[in-house]
Structure 1
Amino acid sequence: MLKRYPLVTIVIAQLFGTSLWFSVNGVGLALQEAVGLSEGDLGLLTIAVQAGFITGTLTIATTGLADRVRASHLFAISAVLGALVNAAFIGVAGNVTLAAIARFATGLCLAGIYPLGMKLVVSWTPSHAGAALGWLVGMLTLGTASPHLLRGVTLALPWQWPLLLASGLALVAAVMIFRLGVGPHLPPTAKGGRPWAGLLAFQQRGFRAAALGYFGHCWELYAFWTLTPFLVARELTRLGTSLDSVSWLSFTVIAVGMPGCVLAGRASRHVGSGRVAFIALACSGALCLLYPLLGSAPPLFLLGLLLIWGFSVIADSAQFSALASATAPSDRLGSALAMMNAIGFALTIPAIALVTSLWASQGLSVIWWLLPGPVLGLIAMRGLLIPAGKT
């Protein structure tokens, strides 16, 4: 049954597996009240996940593990370990150092979920990679947003419940992918391999342009997602309403990126992945510039802008991955994508650190720290504006 609908299986497993990513952010306000974590502490925990993900992707890229171990097996093992570590966080949440270590370990496990999910998609549906990866990244977006949803539906329960639910979803993802296996359109394993083999893909002009655009996108994306609850809470406070709906609205702002990814994937089949990525990055970059200038606008208007931003900020991600997949060496695809992810996610760390540490003093002005990412990304990817059907 699973192999009759491989793309559906992969994207649902991606949704479930990546629910681990922002699981702590979904209960951030509760953690501030229950164990006394500050906004800076929450930023540290988010950075720890990113650092773990970077370390993990670098490890599987430099060792060739992403291409020498069956992708479905590596995904399943990573999801199981991630579920266990995420649940273990509950016992150490009161100790910031141990909590950061637990989140770092969760990031390590996610390195075996997200890049390997991309490789699995390409192995099953290579002819429509842009559209298929649009669904995959859309589910990553829902997975990122899901902790806010899980907190919303368990608001009357202790903060531990959303974390346990996220771990349960990751276990389901492991079973789904293990049973599915690898598709027929890529070699399931690669024998041998050189350290840092993923870097060889940067010799390809198309891959290099896609990667540089992706790096600019990464600088903005996760910092925006980290800021989302703060931005939503600001507008609810201005409206004079309860903050109980912060989780629901934060989920909505992030989750609206899912249809953004899917629609971008469909558009890529007509106008090309390069053009779609350029337009999406330009839109989110424009919001980076304008949002602080509109800070005194009516709260409902700004909440509407957040929805537009959430829609556009992730819509380009799958198209960068599709462009990179098309130009990377096929026998080192997993390593190349993992290396691109590692570098891109390394750039999320200073961006997250800046916005979380400066939010209390600078307010909306911290958003301008995100603007260089889209600007430099747009400059780098001008060469990707190629005719439809060539990506």
Structure 2
Amino acid sequence: MAVVLCMAPWFSAAAVLPQLRAEWNLSPQAGSWLALAVQLGFVVGAVGSALLNLADRVPSRVLILVGALVAAGANAALLVINDGSLAFVLRGLVGAALALVYPPALRAMSAYFTTGRGVALGVMVGALTLGSASPHLVNGLGGAQWRTVIAVTSVLAVLGGVIASRVGPGPHRSPAPPFRPAQAWQALSARGPALATLGYLGHMWELYAMWTWFALYYSGVLRAAGGTDVTRVSALATFAVVGIGALGCVLGGVLGDRWGRTRVTELSMWLSGASAVALALLVSAPPGVILAVSVFWGFWIIADSAQFSTIVSEVADPAYVGTAMTAQLALGFTLTAVSIALVPALEPRIGWPGIFLLWSVGPLLGAVTMRVLRGTPEAARIAGGRR
């Protein structure tokens, strides 16, 4: 519940980006940078957190509370400014603050579970998914009033931080290790964590780019079909496409624990990449058909996400699990910044079909990487020997 609420500010500006561009007279490029700012801020925050070993040395509930309060404050500050440059800084601060929420939350959950960890982290990432989707629901139900979206998501983040502050340390949390900045790299340089991280990068290549730009894409689909009330309908559609991923995360956790993590991550990326290819081919399909394929895509695009973190928690040094998770997330979100930024630069040239084909490359390569990991000796430590 804390993560659902704390992560609400993540996509708050992206959910109302057309309104912000109109009110602040932002160019399309400036709007793209505003959407990208959170990713860049998260990378900075995650890198700093990994170097300082914060997720392993500071209680998770303290980090999450601080991150939630800072994110809420920076998000709410958008209500009193009228400048795109300052908005970029504030959105970057939101991302940096949420780097104190997401990795420590994964670390905290892993400290409560040894068996069933895949389901546990799947529920946690499902919560992240719901939190990320919530601004689109608020937007769809609130008549596209961007101030309402910003205000509500800021209040939700504060409430999430308060809830997190009530969560004690798990029974399997390791004692605070020595301060070792180099551990941020060493935690991922071993073969097992390195392969898991490469698979994670393939997954992340498409995930946040799709989450960020789907509302814009589907708005164009609706307009081309002569639809009405496009803003509201596209917001609700985006909530469905992103939000359905919460169920995918849970199923991914169940399959990861029972069937094997490398298997479920590989399957998920094959299906996700195939969905992107299918949408590239459905250029003239009715909006309902496109939405149905997109919902299927939204289910599988995130179903594997928690399992990458779970694999790292099982094969990394137990004393620095939080640092390893944070470093993995930092690399992943660095890549998302690239894939998000490429869309406005390439879409006018190659169109949305070309964008979807480009996105499909990541999960297809990631699936191959997880097949390689399955054949290594380190795989015997994953999911109790179920690889």
Q: Which bin holds the TM-score, normalised by the shorter protein?
A: over 0.9
Q: TM-score, normalised by structure 1?
A: 0.92
Corresponding residue for 1:133?
121
Corresponding residue for 1:354?
342
User: 1:227 and 2:213 equivalent?
Assistant: yes
Corresponding residue for 1:164?
151
User: 1:363 and 2:351 equivalent?
Assistant: yes
User: 1:180 and 2:186 equivalent?
Assistant: no
Amino acid across the alignment from 2:190: Q
User: 1:20 and 2:17 equivalent?
Assistant: no
* Contact map agreement 2:188 2:328 (CA 8 A) in 1: no
**Residue 163 of structure 1: how far off its partner (Å):** 0.9
User: 1:89 and 2:78 equivalent?
Assistant: yes
Amino acid across the alignment from 2:135: P
2:29 to 22, 40, 56: 40
Q: Tell me the secondary structure at the aligned position of residue 216 of structure 1.
A: helix
CA distance in 2, matches of 1:39, 1:359: 12
**Residue 295 of structure 1: how far off its partner (Å):** 0.8
Corresponding residue for 2:90?
102
* Contact map agreement 2:6 2:101 (CA 8 A) in 1: yes
Q: C-alpha offsets along residues 35-81 of structure 1, whole Å, 9 cap, x if unaligned? A: 23344333211211111100111001112222221111111111111
Q: Tell me the secondary structure at the aligned position of residue 116 of structure 2.
A: helix
Corresponding residue for 1:9?
none
Corresponding residue for 1:8?
none
CA distance in 2, matches of 1:302, 1:344: 28
Distance 1:188 1:147, change over 3 A: farther
Amino acid across the alignment from 1:214: Y
CA distance in 2, matches of 1:253, 1:108: 26
* Contact map agreement 1:222 1:348 (CA 8 A) in 2: yes
Corresponding residue for 2:190?
204
Corresponding residue for 1:289?
277
1:189 to 151, 176, 181: 176
**Residue 226 of structure 1: how far off its partner (Å):** 1.3
CA distance in 1, matches of 2:143, 2:28: 20
* Contact map agreement 2:266 2:368 (CA 8 A) in 1: no
Q: C-alpha offsets along residues 102-158 of structure 1, whole Å, 9 cap, x if unaligned? A: 0110011010001011001011123211111111111111111111011122116x3
User: 1:73 and 2:62 equivalent?
Assistant: yes
**Residue 33 of structure 1: how far off its partner (Å):** 3.0
Corresponding residue for 2:325?
337
Amino acid across the alignment from 1:383: V
For structure 1, the residue ranges without an aligned partner over 5 or more in a row are 1-11
**Residue 199 of structure 1: how far off its partner (Å):** 1.5
Q: C-alpha offsets along residues 246-265 of structure 1, whole Å, 9 cap, x if unaligned? A: 11111111101111111111
* Contact map agreement 1:198 1:337 (CA 8 A) in 2: no
5 Å-filtered alignment, 1:257-268, equals 257-268=245-256
5 Å-filtered alignment, 1:304-315, equals 304-315=292-303
Q: C-alpha offsets along residues 1-54 of structure 1, whole Å, 9 cap, x if unaligned? A: xxxxxxxxxxx1111011111110111222233223344333211211111100
Corresponding residue for 2:227?
241
5 Å-filtered alignment, 1:362-381, equals 362-364=350-352, 365-381=354-370
Q: TM-score, normalised by structure 2?
A: 0.93
Corresponding residue for 1:272?
260
The alignment's C-alpha RMSD in Å is 1.6
**Residue 188 of structure 1: how far off its partner (Å):** 5.1
CA distance in 1, matches of 2:199, 2:143: 39
Corresponding residue for 1:303?
291
- Alignment size in residue pairs: 377
Q: C-alpha offsets along residues 183-224 of structure 1, whole Å, 9 cap, x if unaligned? A: 12112532x221131221224322111111001111110011
CA distance in 2, matches of 1:38, 1:181: 46
**Residue 361 of structure 1: how far off its partner (Å):** 3.9
1:29 to 11, 14, 18: 18
Amino acid across the alignment from 1:111: A
CA distance in 1, matches of 2:2, 2:182: 28
CA distance in 1, matches of 2:162, 2:151: 17
CA distance in 2, matches of 1:78, 1:361: 39
Corresponding residue for 1:3?
none
* Contact map agreement 1:204 1:327 (CA 8 A) in 2: no
